[in-house]
Structure 1
Amino acid sequence: MREQDHDRGLSADLDRILAQRATRRQSLRWLVAGVSLPLAGCGGGADRADANFGITTSSSDVATGSGTPVACSVIPEETAGPYPGDGSNHNAKGVVNALALAGIVRSDIRASVAGASGVADGIPLTIRLQMVNVGAGCTPAAGAAVYLWHCTREGGYSMYSDGLLDENFLRGVQEADSQGQLAFTTVFPGCYDGRMPHVHFEVYPSLAKAGNAANRIKTSQFTFPLATLNEAYATAGYAGSAAKLARISYATDMVFADGVGLQMASVSGNPVQGYVVTLNVGISL
């Protein structure tokens, strides 16, 4: 990426993505024109099931990654908290806006972008979100964009916390595919005093509109099962989180005290190989 593109932010990412898609479409045209492939035996059904993250949709309800049906409902609106990095507030150096950074549209959010070099440490974590449009019969919300962020394993936030003002890791934007699915590769977040461990996200109607926080249509958070938190925080590097978790609960958390039914992620995996979490996110477009 050219150095001058850093100032173009998400618009530069969007131009790059559109160019890549055009190149892929042209490549497919040449392939179809020059080669005849027997498609019947390609096992497309199995590939599609894997790509669906084990999540299915219907006109009435959707299923979690564990296959358990849940009602198709709009996920609760929650606070963005004091560290959104979406241009709506400041740090000691001025306005904080990760959405203005070239490279912010990425699936792997463990490293900083736009000239910063930090990399977040922690248990590997894959976040898989199934976006559904509640207002359209719970059909996949194809094209919706998600800006997601969370704290480090030590409980700090890039762009805000001491020592992290010049970093922007653990923040990124992704666009839902034709099935309404998107994913992030990150690290398991830590726990800090006063809050249950959580992940923040903002939903935008499209990637093109994700460059301005005024365009967001939903702000929410999700959390993790207590058993997963206890298991993760018994791992080296998370000792401080274990002590803080012992002082908080879902019932006393400022966000989750009114219930976590639509904000509790399904989890598979372990601290050694990493975790995979899935969540259905109901929105109205």
Structure 2
Amino acid sequence: MTQRHLTAYPADDHDHHDDLNNLGLQADAGMLLRPPLDRRRVLGLGLLGGIGLLMGGGAVARGTGIAVAGSKGSGACPAAIPGETAGPYPADGSAASGQSLNVLTRSGIVRRDLRTSLGTGHVATGVPLTLNLKLVNVNASCAALPGYAVYVWHCTDDGEYSMYSRNIVAEDYLRGVQTARADGTVTFQTVFPGCYPGRWPHIHFEVYPTLASATSAANRIQTSQLALPQAACAAVYATAPYAASGGNLSRITLSSDNVFSDGVGSQMPTMSGSARAGYTANLTVGLAR
């Protein structure tokens, strides 16, 4: 696959506290990837919770104007999100793909806009995607979890991972960390991921108890993935430069995916937007704290 870049985007309008956090963090010792956790003993509850969220309203994430379902006071609380494998390309200090790469220690990794590579300034192409996550404590009536940190990463529009794939080993875009605001929300500006052979379109993320601890996978308290809705994927993959993704999507289903085959009741975000204007994805992430 060939590498593609766009001209730089305008400066991000992220919150001022992001600027203060936009510093390198001291690396901790790496550790091997822990195995995937036992999943979905409460899948049925998660599905009911998801239905309740769609009917219950929600709070607005500050600075986004987007309602995030499942907020405290909506009358619904999602099941705790299941643990998933970080996969072969986490760049979180753990041993993966024969390496122990760690983007979490790089200056500038705490950011809202993930599209620009910190080292080269190159910008990832693709349909714009705004990702809103709301962290809540399922053991406390889904109270918000401010101050927790979320590390997000995903593939490019043509299914490659920065820092690992041969064509983009020098890039570190589509990776970044945010700190949850007072209402438990984090927002990332990125691009819609492509679909590569054998996997349903997805986004990886890890949760850390504090920003200071978000320097190594050794400190994470949860690793999971969100599954992108089929309708949005089909619309995006009908456009360039996602030509290969459409064919890959036609050969995979949620039920045959090795991660999502046991259900996505708490991992499927609500989506709004279009392939032309860009999409917004909202997901409430339940954590057992």
**TM above 0.5:** yes
The match for 1:57 among 71, 94, 119 is 71
Could you tell me which of 113, 124, 128 is aligned with 1:108? 113
Structure 1: distance between partners of 2:117 and 2:143 = 34
Provide the rounded CA distance (Å) in 2 between the counterparts of 1:49 and 1:180.
Answer: 11
Q: Does 2:83 correspond to 1:77?
A: yes
Q: How does 1:265-284 map to 2 (within 5 A)?
A: 265-284=269-288
Letter in 2 for 1:151: C
Structure 1 residue 14: Cα displacement: 8.6
Number of the residue aligned with 1:16: 20
- For residues 1-285 of structure 1, the aligned pairs below 5 Å read 16-17=20-21, 49=60, 51=62, 53-55=66-68, 57-58=71-72, 61-62=75-76, 71-89=77-95, 94-113=99-118, 115-285=119-289
The answer to whether the 8 A contact 2:61-2:185 is kept is: no
How far residue 264 of structure 1 moved from its aligned partner, in angstroms, is 0.5
In 1, are the aligned partners of 2:271 and 2:282 still within 8 Å (CA)? yes
| SS of structure 1 residue aligned to 2:72 | coil
Q: Is the 8 A contact 1:129 1:278 kept in 2?
A: yes
% identity of equivalent residues: 49
Change (3 A) 1:15 1:54: closer
User: CA contact under 8 A between 1:14 and 1:207: conserved in structure 2?
Assistant: no
Q: 1-side partners of 2:143 and 2:264: how far apart?
A: 23
Structure 1 CA distance, aligned partners of 2:288 and 2:234? 34
Check 1:99–1:61 CA distance in 2 against 1; reply closer, same or farther (3 A cut).
farther
User: Which amino acid counterpart does residue 105 of structure 2 have in structure 1?
Assistant: A
The answer to whether the 8 Å contact 1:61/1:72 transfers is no
Higher helix share: 1
Q: 1:169 and 1:15 mapped to 2: Cα distance?
A: 18
Return closer, same or farther for 1:90/1:251 CA change in 2, 3 Å cut-off: closer
RMSD of aligned residue pairs (Cα, Å)? 2.2
- State how many pairs are aligned: 235
Whether contact under 8 Å (1:191, 1:245) holds in the other structure is yes
Cα distance, 1:95 vs structure 2: 2.8
- Could you list the runs of 5+ residues in structure 2 that have no partner in the other structure? 1-16, 24-58
Q: Which has the larger radius of gyration?
A: 1
Q: Is the 8 A contact 1:14 1:208 kept in 2?
A: no
Structure 1 residues not aligned, in runs of 5+: 1-12, 20-47, 63-70
Preserved CA contact (<8 Å) 2:130 2:189: yes
Contact 1:148 1:171 in 2 (8 A): yes
Contact 2:94-2:216 at 8 Å conserved across structures: no
Change in 2 beyond 3 A, CA 1:18/1:273: closer
TM score, norm. by length of structure 2? 0.76
Q: Which amino acid aligns with 2:204?
A: H
The TM-score normalised by the length of structure 1 is 0.77
Query: Deviation at 1:143?
Result: 0.8
| Distance in 2 of aligned mates of 1:111 and 1:237 | 18
Say whether the 8 Å CA contact 2:81–2:267 is kept in structure 1.
yes
